[in-house]
Amino acid sequence: MYQQQSIQRRASKGERAWSWFRHIPRVIGGLFRRWPYTLALFLIAWWTFMPILWTAMASFKGLREEYLYPLRFIPHIPTLKNYSFLFEYLEDLPIYFKNSLITSLGSVAVTVVSASLMGYAFARLDFRGRDLLFYSMIVAMFIPRAGGLMAQYELMHALRMRNTLYGLVLLFSSGLSVPLFIMRQAFMSMPQEIEDAAMIDGAGRLRLFWVIAMPFAAGGATVVAILTFVRVWGEYLVTLTMIDVQRLYTVGVGITMFSGSGAMTYDDPDISAAGIQSAGYLMAALPAMLLYVFMQKYFVRGLTEGALKF
């Protein structure tokens, strides 16, 4: 009996292996048939990741490899002294990360709540001038933020919100064109019958929004949260304009201001100014990259559940 079961298990394993090998020609044939698309995607991916890979490799190069000709992509003698120098001489780095975290999470919370309320109103309520007001706000999507930077500077100065983290949170949360568009599309994909049934059962408009509509549009809210966090975390120009106090710098501004020029006076050939800056830029971008990697399936699910459907 035991031998018969063992033979059956080996036979089932052999069938699974054969079924896997049987699909190989079809997979290879599909790659050859779609080779133009595969090549185009490979070139786009290489063009996108090449600066990141170059920065990562440069962070492990010392002064002796910085001036080699021809340049080497992979360092011959990798070193971690650029990172140790950065942590040793940039003592405010934890403060910069804390400021970035406060600004990013605060902007995410305000943006998600504001865009959800506005998106629900534009999607499910009928009032005079609704479409005109919506399209007027969407037009702001095509206006570059740098174009109104001086006006924002004067406004923030008049409101005494410069050199404050809450001022940055409110400023970054004011760009609601894209989040509003996403949340409106997410609420429009909700069946009208669900809303009618809840109202028949006695649910008010506010309860209907929080209990029924908001969970239904959770995918769109996730998309808005990820996009807002990545945008605010990597913001440089607006933060540099609005913040003059060093202890309030975000991580992007703080690392950029730290030029690493002290490495030129440090008698160690394994340390270079370019390597220190590359290490700092890589560390500054790492939280946003990790967030997107771990939240990628929720991001894609939010897009496919109606956040960007027309």
Query: Which of 51-60, 63-72, 90-99, 107-116 has the highest mean predicted lDDT (pLDDT)?
Result: 107-116
Domains of the chain: 2-80 (no CATH), 87-307 (1.10.3720.10)
Task: Give the chain as a DSSP string.
Answer: -HHHHHHHHHHHHHHHHHHHHHTHHHHHHHHHHTHHHHHHHHHHHHHHHHHHHHHHHHTT--HHHHT-SS--SS-SS--SHHHHHHHHH-TTHHHHHHHHHHHHHHHHHHHHHHHHHHHHHHHH---TTHHHHHHHHHHGGGS-GGGGHHHHHHHHHHTT-TT-HHHHHHHHHT--HHHHHHHHHHHHTS-HHHHHHHHHTT--HHHHIIIIIHHHTHHHHHHHHHHHHHHHHT--HHHHHH---GGG--HHHHHHH---GGGGGS--TT--HHHHHHHHHHHHHHHHHHHHHHTHHHHHHHIIIIIT--
**What mean pLDDT comes out for the span 243-272?**
74
Q: Rounded to two decimals, what is the model's pTM?
A: 0.78
What is the average pLDDT score of the chain? 80
Q: How confident is the model at residue 135 (pLDDT cuts 50, 70, 90)?
A: confident
